Chains A and B, each alone.
Chain A
Amino acid sequence: MSDVVYLSPSRLATYADCQRKYDHSYEQDVSAPEQTLLYANQGKAYHETIEAVCNATDPGEDAETIHDRAMEAFAEKWEEHLDSDEYSSRAHEAYQRAENRAAIDAFFAPDGGDGIRHARQSVATEIWVECVHEGLGLHGYADNVLRTEDGLHVIDYKRNVHGIITSYTAQYLAEHLNGETHEPGRVKNAFQTAAYVEGIKQSDLYEAGMDVRFSFYGVLHDTTFESTPTGYEVTASGRERETTAIYDDHYEVIWDLVEDAHEGIREQAYDPEPFTLISEEACGDCDYREMCPEHLAAEVQR
């Protein structure tokens, strides 16, 4: 097993998006200016808040205590990760803080917030998992692992679950594999599901007969902005989307996709293929577009 190459779902998905993007992002490690630095830092703040709360919570602890702990942790994490100087106005920072705070408040709401259950059932956070499937190694950090009545439930926290794969959109996985369409986002969801489901099964937490599930959880999935005569109020609520069944239903296709990307990365094949599709679908949002030789060549020719 020593010569197994382990790759993360993010790496594989980047390669599945565009081979040259992988080259720039991982092989050459070119740092792109963080367009959404403020959002990335917000992500750190709520991820670490959830992690801190889950780590500190016992299964039988009362909801109010968990909630208070969460609000305290959020204040610390926000202070730690968000820099006022990054904002053009104090008002902008205050608004984003209020939004994230409202999300944590709702997630750990004592009267039925999902976070109370997540904290009580959590058996591990930020856990490193690895798996090998037919010689293909996958690894990565799982945000939270819950011990449920039937087994283990892995949670990946995100800002929202818009665009996350559904049983309906899962059909695009096969089309991506065949080069008929370009669906790197959903392919990534599938890779994450595969990596964490199989990774947990090959971890110390797993016991024979356990049921293993995987879900994405959008902490700020729904937000509202309510005006008042003196200011505004924001509310936020989360949404879970489980993808275990999709993994089961599209098992072969997903592992074929993993194999394609895995092989390409190992062989350092970085020429974008199929270029026309990638050029149409991927270049627009790519952080490396400005420096990409294939993209620039197409532009100059134009």
Chain B
Amino acid sequence: MTEDRPAWLPTVEEDVDPEDQQRTIIRSDEYPMRVLAGAGTGKTFTMVRKIEHLIDEGVSPDRILALTFTNNAVDSMREKLNAKIGTAGYDIDAYTYHSICNEILTDYAYEAGLDPDFEIVSDAEKYAIVLDVLDDIEYRWVKPNVYGPDSYGSGVASKLLSFVGTMKRSGVAPEDIDAFLGPAERLHELADLADEIEAIASDHLGGRSVSSVLGGLPDARAAIVAKRDALGDEGVEAAITDFLDRLIRLCDALEAAFEAHEAGERSLPDDAHKLPKYLLGGYSSGAPSGIPDLKLELTDQLGDFVDDCLVARDLVAGYAAYERELAERDLIDFDGLVVETKRLLDTEAGSEVAARWDYVFCDEFQDTDRLQFDLVTSLVSDDQLFVVGDDDQAIYEWRGAHVANITGELDTEFGDALVDEPLEENFRSRQPILDLANDLLEELEGRGDGKTLTRVDEPAYNGDTVAVVDEADDETKRAQQLVTVTQNLLSGNAAELDQSYDPGDIALLVRKNDHATPILEAFDQAGIPYQVAGDLATESVGVGTVVAYLKALARPEEDEVSWNRVLTMRYRLNDADLRRLNDTGEDGTLVDELRDAALDEFEEPERVREARDHVTTLLDVRDTASLSHLYAELKDVTNVEWYLSEQERRDLAHLDEIVDQYGTDAVQPPLTGEFVDSLQHYDSLFDESGSTPTDQPELADDAVNVMTVHKSKGLDFPVVMMPRLTADEWEPGSRTYDALETALSDGPAAAFAEDFVARDARETRRVLHVGITRAEDVLVLQGGHDEDEETDHDDPHPIAESLTEILPGRVPWRPDRSHLPIWRDIQDCLPPGATDWTDTLASEPVGRVGGAVEHRDDELTATAGRDRLLELATASLDGRLDGNGEQSTLRVDTLTGPVTPTPALSHSYTSLEAFSECPRQHYLDYVVNAFADYSDGDGSEYDGVSQREVGLLFHDTAEQAADEGAASKSEWYEICDRLAGQRRARDALPDARQCIDRYFELDLSEYDVIDAEREFELDVDGHTLTGFIDAVYRTPDDELLVIDYKATERHRDLDEDKQLPIYLLACRDLYDEPVTRAGYAYVGPIGPNVETRVFPEDELNSVRSTVASTMDRIVDTSFQEFESGEHCQWCSHNELPCAPQSVEEN
């Protein structure tokens, strides 16, 4: 560390030298440069080093703009820049593609014609606005049903959301669509055109031999020409003209082939005479006998396009109304940010904006859409553009990403000036995984470049790397195969594995949400913890109860089912009491009974009283609170989370995020039962895979991470499992508005220039590539062949072969366009050493997994143990248990679910302190992460502000202030207010502000902050002790001082203290200069005051040895040991019998 470098800057974890390919790129002065970088090749690392190199060369950091997709990626880039180049890193503008637009529009709001106070609309507000504009839609071809048969998901509101999203991402405005489609009357006339072509085929091409069909082809052609000539030459009619031109070419090609056959110049297979009528849709029920199902009835292309146009004709008025509503409310949506910025850049202000930067760096460029491409090129001056991305990982085409941006579009924009450099050296996956990925890419048609990934510096490893599992026919058995694989990975007992893995090391990556569902159910049964990113959660009973509570509050008089659910699952009312509440008389309701019935009518009146109190409180809040506020109150008042399992709490986190979105904004959703229901399936309302390139999920380190391949982009895991790799499940398809959106973006002639199914097939192969290349050590692929797949492959139908020869270039659709034999391809590309786990690791757990229970000399599995326990409990309730202790005692050997051989113990000062007070408390809190005892939501904790909350708010404010360089009290206030708002801790704000007041009375506040919330890892005799140091200051005497803030009323004795010596020991690794002084800054009610002292070397060494022996003892810790005493009153498990009587009574 140098003196001019603040110590709080992140440090470089490992000073890695760039590899050759990276070095070439970093040192190059050539611009514009495009780097096609394969998966795991360190593209962000290279980009950061290149920026660093530029700064070393004298470029001012604030002249550099770096863009990427996710906030996580921006943070990671910023951290790396700061680590490498110090504070100068903060001067570089690092943004997401959307946040740079927000920044520019905020700065140039006036020039952009926006209200300077504009805000970004949330998904929730967007949906509320869409519901408001439904009556603006002109219903002719769209049915006005707001809901589909089951939910909001398939009704007109969902249709409009999807339409607006598709069009805006391509920068298509309502007026563009209006102009393209033309008047409704004319569209109505065109609605049956596909049927008319099919009728032509039926009329002229029904001959029973090649010669008779040949005779009809000119007539059919002439009829199509007549249809074409009746069309206009603009907009939708021009697109249809282009399509009919292609059909005419097809007729010509067929005629030529048939003539050649008749002249004996070429042979045609049997039934080839049926092809013309089939291709033009003349058979009413698909392919006739003799013609395989090629999915090539070409009139379907026209029919689908015209249908999309008709729907668009109706929806465009809704789109326009949506835009008006946004403008009126000074809101702007995510796509709108880019649209408005692009518009601004096309004005005179554009050059001023672009002049802010000399260099533009772009990451993940293959995911940019058309608008973002234009945005980037508008921001580039003097061609000083650096673009990095991977066309092999382009998987967001279906959401508007324009893969050609990184290939053809850049070529067109910059021509010969564009310099290409490759990045193919991989630092992530083992070579067999890369071999498989490389070989599979060979199957990708039209691939731009020929990158071949090669692993560098591969660490030693002794286990299987690529494993396949032939999927079972039955869904339950299929799921069980992966459960067994997971159990084996967790135990690490099998010889095929190099090591055991933690749940967080394993990822389950799926193509579609429903591929995960049965596996999650099987994980539930096996007790394997998992965390789902997005809306993949199965029906979680716990989440269902929370949702039921909201539904009951939404319709308290009507929804007695939800009340019953809540009273059963949260308040544990027994059957008799529930029946009493349901006995409401003629006009009464359950909620009336709950509020008014005499408590002595119930068998368990306390439970009813608790429910009554909670419901009364929440119904009072309901009418005035926003959804998010009501939700927060619900959780606070009822403590419902305590009743959820660990898995259910994970599932609930997703609902938390969705409800959070509603904040306290003025636009609030209707609190109806249907709406609350829809929250559970929220992602599916907004897009089908719950994924956008701008999302990146938070990962769990203690649970298997489950997500779609799309969400896994940019992530890596030691183990990746991919289920359901079959042709049927991965079959590509076209998407709504494909042709229309293309025609609107690239002109009418583009609508039918490409086969969108073939495009999707290519993208699907890239999805597989992304999934495979997430794996570091082990890749498990589960799949199988579909029926008939082998036959199709080995013996292609002669009709298909012949057709491939006949079809002219102008017809982009080819036989087998939708067949993607993914499992066959995987089998063909398996690297040497790949193994089949079907009958081994997917079949039987190796060794004992899942724990065991002993009872009456039986060793029971966890499941059998649970059943036995229930049996005994029932016997006890029925009075059949004889009271014999031996019979009723179950001895738990291991009940920790899937076992890991060495449970990782993490130590911190707090955990050591807990251990010194009571080993049992430590065991519960830090070894097995036990739930805290139930605490009554109405208790004192709920009524008052917890000191912990105040302390947390103050600490985080101090950390944030250090990060932002905020040194004044008003700036601290501002940060504190913001944090309190974000975490709904406004109640703690007054006390936290008082802490700030006290802090600024201390001399300390004048000192330089060197570090804040500094994380450390201290190695003590083989144990790792982790923690955070609140702050390190440089005193006016140029001495470093470690400070721990205390916002509580408790005073610490410095002479007996162990916490500060630990921090000072940690400082030996953190700072180049000695740190000997440490102390406490009291900012709570007993402050303001600072007490510090110097801790001599021998005292530190003594603490070190005490800590080491404590940690040695902790290794053998168990539930059995405990110490009861005063500390029990603060213990979160003090309802256990070990607590003194006095604590229990309190």
Q: Which residues of A contact B (CB under 8 A)?
A: 24, 28-34, 87-92, 94-95, 225, 227-232, 287-288, 290-291, 293, 296, 299-300, 302
Bound Cα distance from A231 to B140, whole angstroms: 4
In the complex, the answer to whether A227 meets B134 with C-beta atoms within 8 Å is no
A139 → chain B, closest Cβ, in Å? 21
| Residues of B close to A88: CB separation below 8 A | 131, 134, 146-147, 157
Q: Which residue of B lies closest to A289 (CB)?
A: B561
| Residues of B close to A34: CB separation below 8 A | 558
> 19 more A-B contacts (CB under 8 A) besides A34-B558, A227-B191, A232-B141?
A31-B560, A33-B559, A88-B131, A88-B147, A89-B156, A91-B144, A92-B146, A94-B144, A228-B140, A229-B188, A231-B140, A232-B139, A288-B561, A290-B544, A293-B568, A293-B575, A296-B568, A299-B541, A300-B541
In the complex, the answer to whether A296 meets B569 with C-beta atoms within 8 Å is yes
In the complex, the answer to whether A291 meets B144 with C-beta atoms within 8 Å is no
Interface membership of chain B positions 519-546, coded 1 if the CB is closer than 8 angstroms to chain A and 0 otherwise: 0010011000000000000010100100
Going nearest first, the 6 A-B pairs with the smallest beta carbon separation are A291-B564, A89-B134, A91-B144, A28-B582, A95-B144, A88-B146
Bound Cα distance from A32 to B147, whole angstroms: 19
Interface membership of chain B positions 157-197, coded 1 if the CB is closer than 8 angstroms to chain A and 0 otherwise: 10000000000000000000000000111011001000000
A232 → chain B, closest Cβ, in Å? 6
15 A-B pairs with C-beta separation under 8 A: A29-B582, A30-B564, A33-B551, A33-B558, A87-B146, A88-B134, A89-B156, A90-B135, A92-B144, A95-B143, A227-B191, A287-B561, A290-B561, A296-B565, A296-B569
Bound Cα distance from A33 to B187, whole angstroms: 43
A302 with B185, Cβ < 8 A, contacts A30-B561, A33-B559, A87-B146 known: no
Bound Cα distance from A299 to B569, whole angstroms: 12
In the complex, the answer to whether A30 meets B144 with C-beta atoms within 8 Å is no
In the complex, the answer to whether A91 meets B137 with C-beta atoms within 8 Å is yes
In the complex, the answer to whether B579 meets A28 with C-beta atoms within 8 Å is yes
B188 → chain A, closest Cβ, in Å? 4
Task: Give the contacting residue for B135; candidates A30, A91, A291; CB below 8 A.
Answer: A91
Q: Which residue of A lies closest to B870 (CB)?
A: A301
A232 with B561, Cβ < 8 A, contacts A88-B134, A290-B548 known: no
Task: Give the contacting residue for B144; candidates A24, A29, A89, A299; CB below 8 A.
Answer: A89
A230 with B184, Cβ < 8 A, contacts A89-B134, A296-B541 known: yes
Bound Cα distance from A299 to B140, whole angstroms: 45
Cβ of B808 < 8 Å from any Cβ of A? no
| Residues of A close to B135: CB separation below 8 A | 89-91
Task: Give the contacting residue for A89; candidates B146, B524, B539, B564; CB below 8 A.
Answer: B146
A125 → chain B, closest Cβ, in Å? 27
Q: Which of B143, B575, B584 has the most CB of A within 10 A?
A: B143
Interface membership of chain B positions 566-590, coded 1 if the CB is closer than 8 angstroms to chain A and 0 otherwise: 0011000001000100111000011
B583 → chain A, closest Cβ, in Å? 7
In the complex, the answer to whether A302 meets B524 with C-beta atoms within 8 Å is yes
Bound Cα distance from A32 to B582, whole angstroms: 12
Bound Cα distance from A296 to B643, whole angstroms: 14
| Residues of A close to B575: CB separation below 8 A | 293
A159 → chain B, closest Cβ, in Å? 13
Bound Cα distance from A227 to B524, whole angstroms: 49
Bound Cα distance from A95 to B57, whole angstroms: 69
Residues 307-321 of B contacting A (Cβ, < 8 Å): 310
Q: Which residues of B contact A (CB under 8 A)?
A: 131, 134-135, 137, 139-141, 143-147, 156-157, 183-185, 187-188, 191, 310, 521, 524-525, 539, 541, 544, 548, 551, 555, 558-562, 564-565, 568-569, 575, 579, 582-584, 589-590, 673
| Residues of B close to A87: CB separation below 8 A | 146
B542 → chain A, closest Cβ, in Å? 9
B563 → chain A, closest Cβ, in Å? 8
Task: Give the contacting residue for A32; candidates B134, B141, B561; CB below 8 A.
Answer: B561
Q: Which of A31, A89, A94, A299 has the most CB of B within 10 A?
A: A89
Bound Cα distance from A230 to B184, whole angstroms: 8
| Residues of B close to A232: CB separation below 8 A | 139-141
B155 → chain A, closest Cβ, in Å? 9
Bound Cα distance from A92 to B568, whole angstroms: 37
A229 with B146, Cβ < 8 A, contacts A31-B558, A32-B561, A88-B131 known: no
Task: Give the contacting residue for A228; candidates B188, B524, B525, B555; CB below 8 A.
Answer: B188
Task: Give the contacting residue for B525; candidates A32, A91, A302; CB below 8 A.
Answer: A302
| Residues of B close to A227: CB separation below 8 A | 140-141, 188, 191, 310
| Residues of B close to A291: CB separation below 8 A | 561-562, 564-565, 568
Bound Cα distance from A300 to B310, whole angstroms: 48
In the complex, the answer to whether A91 meets B561 with C-beta atoms within 8 Å is no
B848 → chain A, closest Cβ, in Å? 23
Bound Cα distance from A228 to B558, whole angstroms: 41
| Residues of B close to A33: CB separation below 8 A | 551, 555, 558-559, 561-562, 673
Bound Cα distance from A94 to B544, whole angstroms: 34
B42 → chain A, closest Cβ, in Å? 44
In the complex, the answer to whether B144 meets A290 with C-beta atoms within 8 Å is no
| Residues of A close to B539: CB separation below 8 A | 299
In the complex, the answer to whether B584 meets A29 with C-beta atoms within 8 Å is yes
| Residues of B close to A290: CB separation below 8 A | 544, 548, 561-562, 564-565
Q: Which of A88, A228, A288 has the most CB of B within 10 A?
A: A88
Bound Cα distance from A229 to B310, whole angstroms: 10
| Residues of A close to B565: CB separation below 8 A | 290-291, 296
Q: Which residue of A lies closest to B674 (CB)?
A: A35
| Residues of B close to A228: CB separation below 8 A | 140, 188
B932 → chain A, closest Cβ, in Å? 21
In the complex, the answer to whether A302 meets B144 with C-beta atoms within 8 Å is no
| Residues of A close to B544: CB separation below 8 A | 290
Q: Which residue of B lies closest to A98 (CB)?
A: B144
In the complex, the answer to whether A229 meets B185 with C-beta atoms within 8 Å is yes
| Residues of B close to A29: CB separation below 8 A | 582, 584
| Residues of A close to B590: CB separation below 8 A | 30
| Residues of B close to A288: CB separation below 8 A | 561
Bound Cα distance from A94 to B135, whole angstroms: 11
Bound Cα distance from A87 to B143, whole angstroms: 14
B140 → chain A, closest Cβ, in Å? 5
Bound Cα distance from A288 to B140, whole angstroms: 38
| Residues of B close to A91: CB separation below 8 A | 134-135, 137, 139, 144
| Residues of B close to A300: CB separation below 8 A | 541
Bound Cα distance from A87 to B564, whole angstroms: 27
A30 with B582, Cβ < 8 A, contacts A230-B184, A299-B541 known: yes
B146 → chain A, closest Cβ, in Å? 4
A275 → chain B, closest Cβ, in Å? 17
Bound Cα distance from A228 to B135, whole angstroms: 18
A195 → chain B, closest Cβ, in Å? 26
Q: Which of B185, B521, B539, B560 has the most CB of A within 10 A?
A: B560
Task: Give the contacting residue for B140; candidates A30, A229, A293; CB below 8 A.
Answer: A229
Q: Which residue of A lies closest to B673 (CB)?
A: A33
Bound Cα distance from A299 to B575, whole angstroms: 19
| Residues of B close to A302: CB separation below 8 A | 521, 524-525
B616 → chain A, closest Cβ, in Å? 20
B607 → chain A, closest Cβ, in Å? 16
A214 → chain B, closest Cβ, in Å? 29
| Residues of B close to A92: CB separation below 8 A | 134, 144-146, 156
Bound Cα distance from A296 to B188, whole angstroms: 52
| Residues of A close to B560: CB separation below 8 A | 30-32
Bound Cα distance from A74 to B957, whole angstroms: 66
Bound Cα distance from A58 to B700, whole angstroms: 75
Bound Cα distance from A28 to B139, whole angstroms: 44
A222 → chain B, closest Cβ, in Å? 16
| Residues of B close to A32: CB separation below 8 A | 559-561
Bound Cα distance from A117 to B963, whole angstroms: 84
B1034 → chain A, closest Cβ, in Å? 58
Bound Cα distance from A30 to B590, whole angstroms: 8
| Residues of A close to B561: CB separation below 8 A | 24, 30-33, 287-288, 290-291
Bound Cα distance from A245 to B590, whole angstroms: 45
